[in-house]
Amino acid sequence: MNLANLLTLSRIVLAPVFMVIYLVPKSYAITIPVLWVIFLVSEITDYFDGLAARKLKLTSDFGKLFDPFADTLVQTTCFLCFLIDGVWGSGIVPVILFLLVVYREFAILFLRNLMLKKGVTLGARMLGKIKTVVYIFAVGATLLAASIERLNVYENLLPYFKTGAFVIFIISVTLAVISFFDYVIIYRKTESAK
């Protein structure tokens, strides 16, 4: 476990903490700043684990798989919280879009395992990285809308925040599907090269 992987591990630990705190009854306004701290720390450590891996030459096949795994765990945990919250009210993350995200992530995991059997480590691709950045914006926008709703502030603007979050979420899901096909193309090229 090097520094980069420890930073990645911290995100994996923070994901269930975010979920537990998010699911505390909405009446507890103190949970909002705690959720924002967890979200921001998760994304900052995501940046620094990559920086540490490159600058300190700590890149490894393990890290190439561990980092996107942590990203997926954090983001799908947040999306699941928002999905559950939608059952109670806000409804920004629809079930069908959430399932597309989950199915895409399992499919990528499957492709990575297939490639590992061939001795190839498939790390994050550029489209996958862009998808991750848009996921981060989707989580941030949805958390902002949920925060406004829970704190009962700017209620007249809440529909706009929800719409904005929903649009960003749609874009992130679209990028997720497109990036999946990018991974499939790489897998097929690896298949045909062997």
State which H helix or E strand residue 27 sits in: none
- 6-10, 167-171, 172-176, 190-194: the lowest-pLDDT one: 190-194
Nearest C-alpha neighbor of 43 from the set 172, 137, 146: 137
What confidence category does residue 88 fall into, taking pLDDT thresholds of 50, 70 and 90? very low
pLDDT single digits (tens) 146-163: 888 888 888 899 889 999
Is residue 91 scored above 70 in pLDDT? no
The C-alpha atoms of residue 175 and residue 100 are separated, in whole angstroms, by 11
Q: Are 86 and 92 in contact (CB under 8 A)?
A: yes
List, as one string, the DSSP characters of 90-124: ---S-HHHHHHHHHHHHHHHHHHHHHHHTT-----
pLDDT single digits (tens) 37-63: 999 999 999 889 888 888 888 888 888
Nearest C-alpha neighbor of 98 from the set 41, 138, 154: 138
pLDDT single digits (tens) 2-36: 888 899 999 999 999 999 999 887 666 788 999 99
Mean pLDDT in residue range 123-149: 90
State which H helix or E strand residue 152 sits in: none
- Only one residue has tokens 């062997």, namely 194
Q: What share of the chain is helix, strand, coil (3-state, %, to 5)?
A: 80, 0, 20
What residues have CB less than 8 Å from 27, skipping those under 6 apart?
none
